[in-house]
Structures are given as C-alpha cells and as structure tokens.
Amino acid sequence: MSKLDSKIPAGPVADKWKNHKDHMNLVSPNNRDKIDIIVVGTGLAGGSAAATLAEQGYNVKAFCYQDSPRRAHSIAAQGGINAAKNYQGDGDSTYRLFYDTIKGGDYRSREANVYRLAEVSASIIDQCVAQGVPFGREYGGQLDNRSFGGVQVKRTFYAKGQTGQQLLLGAYSAMSRQIGKGRIKMHNRHEMLDLVIVDGKARGIIARNLVTGEIERHSAHAVVIASGGYGNVYFLSTNAMGSNVSAAWKIHKKGAYFANPCYVQIHPTCIPVHGTAQSKLTLMSESLRNSGRIWVPKNIEDAVAIREGKLKPENIAHENRDYYLERRYPAFGNLVPRDVASRAAKERCDAGYGIENNDTHEGVYLDFSTEITKKGKEAAIEQNIHNPTEQQIYDLGKSWIEEKYGNLFVMYEKITADNPYVTPMKIYPAVHYTMGGVWVDYNLQSTIPGCFVIGEANFSDHGANRLGASALMQGLADGYFVLPYTIADYLSADIRTGTISTDNAEFDTAEKEIQDKVNFFINNKGTHSVDHFHKKLGHIMWNKVGMGRTPEGLREAIQEIEEVRKDFWANVRVPGEANEMNMELEKAFRVADFLELGQLMAKDALERRESCGGHFRWDHATPEGEAERDDENFKYVAAWEYNGSDINQEVMHKEDLIYENIEVKTRSYK
C-alpha cells in the first residue's frame, strides 16, 4: 500500500484550512511542557516555528550549524515577501495569489496547500509589523509595495534590499525572547547527522557539536526539519556556502519520501561566473527587473567587440539592442517568471550573443538607463524644474534608483569593479532555489510519523517553479501559522508518554553509525580534498541536469555521478582530528549526501518526460523553444522511496495532482 496519503481535508478549497483547524486535536496549555520538540534549522521556517512552539508552551530544542540563528541562509533574501493584502487596490485577493502561484508553478503543486498559503499570507505581514520589522513605507505612513516576475499586481512587501534579513531578524528576536525565558534551548554550531526512530516514530536526532566534535544524542516527541534547500549540489549557486541537504537526506534514508528532486530554480539575474576559483554566485535581486531592461547586442559583431573589450555597451544605439524579453513576451516583458527569463538568456548566449568575457560567454545586460531618464523627468516635474538639462535629469533619476536599490548597486560594484549607474549590469542565470524536497502531507508531516518538514526543505507549495517573493512567505506561513496547529494534532496522543530516553538500542545504533563514518573520514588518507569531488559533481549537474536537459545527458550524468561517488569514498582526504572543530569533516558529510542526491535528481529528471517550470527537457519543447508540458501523463508528484545505497533502485510513488478550482492551462506570458 502506498504511504502517500496527502490528508487534504474535504470541502471547498476556501474552507478547508478553517474546517481542518476546527476539528484538529489540541494539546491543552498545562500539558505542553510535558512535550519536547526538536527543530533542526533556524532560518525563517525553523526560527518562526521554534519561537511559536515555545510561546505555546512546548519545550523546544533548536539546532543550527552557524554560530547564531541570525545567520541562517534566509538572511540573504533581498527582494521581498508576497501577501494578498490588496493595499494597492489593484485587484489582489487570496484567490489571485493562489492562482498566480499555481500557474507560476506550472500546475505541479497541490491546490489545497497553496490556497492555505495565500490565505495566511496577510497575517504574516501583520505579525512582522507587530514585531518591529521595518518594511518600506509611503509618506502617509502606510506600507509600500512593489511587484515581482510572473504577476500583474503589486503585492510584494520589502525592507529595502534586505527583506530576508529583516524578516529573519524578526523571527530571531521572537526566538531570543523565548531563549531568554528558557523555553528554547538553542544549540548553535551543532549539525544534525541522523534521525532516530523508535517504534516507528521520530524520537530524536544524532548531532555533532561542531566546536568539540562530540557526537550527541537528543530526544523529543517530534522532530521538525527546517534545514533549507539543496541548491549547493551544483557547487556554484546563490545559496550560502554551508547550505546542504544532509538533514533532509538523512530522513529520506530513514523512510521519508523525497519529492520532485529535479525541480530546481535557476534565477535569471546573478552576476556571471568570473573564474575557476569562484566559490559562489551572487544574486542581484529580481526586484531590479522592475526598473531594468534586459538586452544583448542585435548584431553578433557588436557582441564580439564587447567581449574583446573594444566596445562599451553604453555606446550601442538603442536600435542595435535586442531587448529579447520585451520582444518575445510583450505582455510581461522583463517581468516574465524566472524559468522563462533564464531560458531566454541561455538561448541568446548559446546563439553567440553573450557579452561576458569568460570561457562560455555567459552574460546579458540589465540596463537602468531608460529608467534613470524616465524617473529623472518625473522628478523634475515634481520639483517644478522646467526644461531640465540632461545632467539634471540623470542626477534626479540616479537618486531615485539609489533610494530604491542603492545597496545592490554598491554590492555589484564591489564584486565587479563596474559602476552600474554608468554601464549596464552583467547578469546570467544561476542555481538559486529548490522546489523539490521532502514529501509532506497537508499537515506538513513526512512519511515518517512525528517527523515534520517545513520551509524550503519540503516540496509542497511551489510546484515546478517558484515565483519571486514566495519562499519567504512559505517559510513564515509554515513556521508561524501552519505547523503549530498541525503538530499539536499529532502530539495530542503523546501527553502521557513522558520524557523520551536516549538510552536505548535505536540511539546506540544511530550514534555508532555516525561515529564509524567520522572514523572513516579521518582515517582514510586519500588523495583529494572534499571540494575536489564537490566541484566535479557540480560540473556534471550544471551541464547535464541544469537549464536544459536531454535523455542522453541525464543517463550520462547518472553514470558519471556514480563514478565520482565511488572515487570519493575511495580517495577523499580529510585532514585534522575528529574531536575538535574540523570544517573539512563537516564538508565531507555534506558532500557525501549531495553525491547521492545528485544522482536521484538526474534519475527524476529522466523519468519526467515533459518540460515544466525549472525542469526543461529539450526533447519536450515547442518549435519556438517554449516548455511543453504533458498533463495527461505527468500531472503528479514524484515521491521517491530510498531502497539501499544504489540510488538507481529508488522506487517512485505518484501523488496525482487534482485541480478543482483552477483550470489547467498552457502557461503563456506572451
């Protein structure tokens, strides 16, 4: 029997969540301190969950590998967070946010989950404002909004270019309050290395203290995984360097199904790769696409001259520029969704029009000159300057841009040494976000009872593609407003269980396995560093499981990853000792998991013989090069079951996606 019961409540979609809440079991306040909950990860999802659960009265043990929850990867999000508040009166509503998210996800997400996300989104903003998150405001004191790719309303709330930072600091503040009260026991610089299951239920974890190297046992009545996404399987990505899949992968190996691993979002506006020593890619917020126009030279000679440094982009006349997004997608122009914008950039660069002076010529322009002029003229009128000079217009326009995106422009200049007020930014797509993740039901519970998964680590809300500003929304929705209800329903059966012991065979075995692996790494006097293998894996992933995929390429990838994996286990070298801070050892554990996951991603991509969202198969494209979905055969979630260390033996389970409230259409942004 398949374990895939999505537990979607009956009834009309607009009432499902309310009805479900009305009928779930509760844990009464005086019983909550008899219950321990482990939260792995303290980004937006884990941080908000830990704070809320602690406030409700549970004993929370939270873990993160950084030195403080304030440093989780969520901190890096720049652009904004969506919410269906309709403050701008432009026709936004819960339904429209729901609709945009489903369509943006290429009809590969679950209706009920997405509706709930849209429904609770408005409370997130209320909550964060109450916590002191300094969102951007209008002069009248009300909240300001902007818009992101793939939508036609302004529903994105922002805090300058640091929205993720401010939201995370909000959650971290809420956590700090509970830490101060002793309700959250925070384990900084601790990494979860395995899940412990007792009598079929998640009852604890094995963690390594990253300062002392000690392997520790921690028990709880339920375990929440909020460990973020797995984009670093590509080595180069916009993710933080420590982002990894280990927690999610470990529970997968213990029985949790892993869903849609091939859905990876490639973000269109990153700074292009400059060289082989590069360690990560830096995102330029998508919000820049509100003001920037994307182009490459129309004539191939100009592209060549630019790459050779003989021509400057500012000197190419407007009529000799190919604003390819505006040309191909007039309705959305530069604001098409990310997968569309990314593929269009690749198409131009593959055709030889790329402008970056690197091996692959991967780069296009994001140009602010039109906006500077336009805003400059508007400001001149506002300030009663008649007949402004060109310089005045430029200066006024520049200060407008500076006010809106100043910190991003500074960051760009620091990295590239180019001044983007004068010359257009160079950008190229990069791996950014993973829509796949641990399969969870409507209650955010994995296929392991008592093991819940929230935020980017689960698969549920974004389908095959995520629209901008919706990951932050999902993280906080899960953590503040969904999990605290659904986990209570599960825990209500546990009020008489008492403290869970760590002195039993299950903890012994799990700890021993980890200890053996530590010993293996330290004693395997191999020939190559961990990064050597990680880079090899990344190369295969980017070239064969990247923006465009073919069956042959995917088959090769599966084979090649298998070989890198064998090589890794034979030849990896980890210097240093086990019982101390050892960052190479930390990486070794993470890369071991990436090697298995990478193979599963390729396998999943091979099975999905259609194109949808971030998964683009060249053998399933229209003559114009647009994605060709196959709803007849692939309107399902692919949930993989681990079946031994040979990843090729994983078993796929299907959850059919049923659309009752939205008509499934071909996605078009023309």
Partner 1 sequence: MSAKKGLSLTLKIWRQKNNKSKGQFETYKISDVSTDSSFLEMLDMLNENLVNEGQEPIAFDHDCREGICGMCSLYINGRPHGPDTGITTCQLHMRMFKDGETIHIEPWRSAAFPIIKDLVVDRSSFDRVMAAGGFISVNTSGNTLDANAILVPKEDADSAMDAAACIGCGACVATCKNGSAMLFVGAKVSQFALLPQGRVEAERRVLNMVKTMDEEGFGNCSNTGACEVECPKGITLEVIARMNREYFVANLDKG
Within 406-425, which residues bind partner 1 (CB under 8 A)?
410-411, 414-415, 417
Please, which residue, 4 or 76, has the CB nearer to ligand FAD?
Answer: 76
| Alpha-carbon dihedral sign for residues 373, 377, 378, 383 | positive
CA distances from 553 to 94, 550, 595, 620 (A): 41, 5, 17, 14
Q: What span, in angstroms and rounded, lies between the C-alpha atoms of 358 and 268?
A: 18
Amino acid 657 reads: L
208 is catalytic: no
Residue that the structure tokens 């609709």 belong to? 99
- Name the minimum Å distance from CB 471 to ligand FAD: 3
Q: Which does 139 bind (CB under 5 to 8 A by kind): ligand FAD, partner 1, none?
A: partner 1
What is the Cα–Cα distance from 327 to 313, expressed in whole angstroms?
A: 19
Interacting residue ranges for ligand FAD, rule: CB under 6 A: 40-46, 63-66, 72-74, 76-81, 163-164, 191-192, 226-229, 238-239, 243-244, 246-247, 283, 433, 455-457, 469-472, 475
Residue 376 vs 468, nearer CB to ligand FAD: 468
175 vs 554, which CB is nearer to ligand FAD? Answer: 175
User: Is residue 576 within the footprint of partner 1 (CB under 8 A)?
Assistant: yes
Closer CB to partner 1, residue 52 or residue 369? 52
Quote the CA–CA distance of 544 and 449 in Å, as a whole number. Answer: 36
Cα angle 388, 389, 395; round to 5: 90
Interaction partner, residue 344 (ligand FAD, partner 1, none; CB < 5-8 Å by kind): none
131 binds, among ligand FAD, partner 1, none (CB under 5 to 8 A by kind): partner 1
> Is the CB of 174 or the CB of 325 nearer to partner 1?
174
176 binds, among partner 1, ligand FAD, none (CB under 5 to 8 A by kind): partner 1
List of residues 6+ apart from 536 with CB closer than 8 A: 564
Q: Name every residue whose Cβ is closer than 8 Å to that of residue 385 and which is 6 or more positions away in sequence.
A: 392
Contact window for partner 1 (CB under 8 A) among 23-31, 166-174, 344-352, 504-512 = 166-174
Span 80-139, contacts to partner 1 by CB under 8 A: 85, 87, 120, 123-132, 134-139
Q: Rounded to the nearest whole angstrom, what is the least distance from the CB of residue 100 to ligand FAD in the complex?
A: 14
Q: Considering the complex, what minimum distance in angstroms separates the CB of residue 272 from ligand FAD?
A: 15
Q: Please answer whether residues 266 and 338 qualify as being in contact, where contact means their C-beta atoms are separated by less than 8 angstroms.
A: yes
Within residues 606-665, the interface with partner 1 by CB under 8 A covers none
**Neighbour count for residue 1 (Cβ, 10 Å):** 4
Q: Is 310 in the site for partner 1 (CB under 8 A)?
A: no
Q: What minimum distance in Å lies between the beta carbon of 263 and partner 1? A: 24
**Strand-by-strand arrangement of the 201-209 sheet:** 190-198, 201-209, 215-219
Strands (E), 331-490: 364-367, 425-434, 437-438, 451-453
Q: Which is nearer to partner 1, 101 or 243 (CB)?
A: 243
Alpha-carbon distances, residue 66 vs 74, 209, 435 (angstroms): 13, 11, 24
The Cα 137–Cα 87 span in angstroms is 12
Q: How far is the CB of 102 from partner 1 (least distance, A)?
A: 23
Q: Does 282 bind partner 1 (CB under 8 A)?
A: yes
Task: State how far the alpha carbon of 17 is from the alpha carbons of 116, 275, 463, 485, in Å.
Answer: 6, 49, 20, 11
Please, which residue, 144 or 395, has the CB nearer to ligand FAD?
144
- Residue 186 as a binder of partner 1 (CB under 8 A): the answer is yes
Piece of the chain touching partner 1 by CB under 8 A; list 171-179, 344-352, 591-599, 660-668: 171-179
Q: Which residue in 338, 549, 590, 667 is the catalytic one? A: 338
- Minimum gap (Å) between residue 81 Cβ and ligand FAD: 6
Residue 312 partner contact from partner 1, ligand FAD, none using kind-dependent CB cut-offs of 5 to 8 Å = none
Q: At what angle do helices 163-180 and 44-56 cross, to 10 degrees?
A: 30
Greatest extent of the chain over all pairs of C-alpha atoms, in Å: 83
Is 28 among the residues that bind partner 1 (CB under 8 A)? no
The dihedral region occupied by 132, where left means phi > 0, alpha psi between -120 and 50, and beta the remainder, is: left
| Contact partner, 245, from partner 1, ligand FAD, none, Cβ < 5-8 Å per class | none
What is the smallest separation between the CB atom of 487 and ligand FAD, expressed in angstroms? 16
**Minimal distance in Å, beta carbon 169 to partner 1?**
7
End-to-end Cα separation, the chain, in angstroms: 44
Residues 477-496 that bind partner 1 (CB under 8 A): 480-481
Among 253, 517, 539, 573, binds partner 1 (CB under 8 A): 573
Task: Give the number of residues in contact with partner 1, rule: CB under 8 A.
Answer: 85
Q: For residues 244 and 123, what is the distance between their CA atoms, to the nearest angstrom?
A: 30
Task: Pick the closer one to partner 1 by CB: 52 or 260.
Answer: 52
Which residues, 355 to 394, sit near partner 1 by CB under 8 A? 357-359
Stretch that binds partner 1, among 147-155, 259-267, 568-576, 635-643 (CB under 8 A): 568-576
Q: Is 204 exposed, middle or buried (0-12, 13-18, 19+ CB in 10 A)?
A: buried
In the numeric block, which tokens belong to residue 146?
């902007």
Q: Among all residues, which ones are annotated catalytic?
A: 338
